[in-house]
Every structure is written in structure tokens, then in C-alpha cells.
């Protein structure tokens, strides 16, 4: 287990699958999130992808300087409202996975 999580780059992968009838609405919301998130303190990148196998599945790939930067973003009132806006548009609940960068010094 890597114990320097506080000082490691923190990657977040969020998978959202739209209901067929909600795809464009969800996509519009997700696109509107990109610029504000990229301007947040501690954000390195915040990118949106669409699955090549399922056009209703989207991936938000976020990179933050630290876990604390992500937590500040995730727990913000804006982020809470954004999650509430997309909940009813999805086939299944939002799935979030988090990762920390491994450096040679961690091995």
C-alpha cells in the first residue's frame, strides 16, 4: 500500500451511463462542467470521453494535484447540485474510481 496519498497526483475516473432518451441532455450538462472544473484550484485536467462500445456511456477523467483538491471540488455545493442534476438522466448510479500516481521512489 502506498502511504504518500496526500502528496501524490490524484486521478478520478467517473463513469456515467445515460438513459437512451436522456443522452443529449446528459452530454450537454457534462460539457458545461468542463471549463469551471478546469479553473478550480488544484485541477490539472478535466476531460470528457464517450465509450466506443456504448454511445450512452461517458467517462470524466479528472486529474488533481492532491486528494484534498479533489475532495474540495467533490464536496462543494456546485458539485452536489451537478450530481443531483444528472441522477435522473442515468441508467445506473454514478461510478467513481480513484487512483494515485506511483513514482519510482514509492517502489
Q: How confident is the model at residue 6 (pLDDT cuts 50, 70, 90)?
A: low
Taking the whole predicted model, whether its pTM rises above 0.85 is answered as yes
**Where do the structural domains in the chain lie, given as residue ranges?**
8-102
- The DSSP result for 67-82, as a single string, is HHHHHHHHTSHHHHHH
Residues 6+ apart with CB under 8 A from 53: none
Q: Are 80 and 94 in contact (CB under 8 A)?
A: no
Q: Does domain 8-102 have CATH number 2.60.120.1440?
A: no
Q: What is the pLDDT of residues 30-87, one digit of tens each?
A: 999 999 999 999 999 999 999 999 999 999 999 999 999 999 999 999 999 999 999 9
**Mean pLDDT (whole number) for 4-19:** 87
The upper half-sphere exposure of residue 51, i.e. CA atoms within 13 Å in the direction of its Cβ, equals 13
Q: How confident is the model at residue 18 (pLDDT cuts 50, 70, 90)?
A: very high
Amino acid at each position: 500500500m502506498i502511504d504518500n496519498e496526500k502528496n501524490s497526483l490524484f486521478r478520478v475516473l467517473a463513469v456515467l451511463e445515460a438513459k437512451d432518451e436522456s443522452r443529449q441532455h446528459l452530454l450537454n450538462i457534462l460539457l458545461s462542467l468542463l471549463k469551471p472544473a478546469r479553473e478550480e484550484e488544484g485541477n490539472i485536467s478535466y476531460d470528457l470521453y464517450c465509450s466506443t462500445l456504448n454511445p450512452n456511456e461517458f467517462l470524466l477523467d479528472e486529474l488533481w494535484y492532491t486528494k484534498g483538491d479533489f475532495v474540495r471540488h467533490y464536496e462543494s455545493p456546485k458539485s452536489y447540485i451537478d450530481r443531483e442534476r444528472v441522477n435522473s438522466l442515468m441508467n445506473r448510479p454514478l461510478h467513481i474510481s480513484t487512483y494515485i500516481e506511483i513514482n519510482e521512489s514509492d517502489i
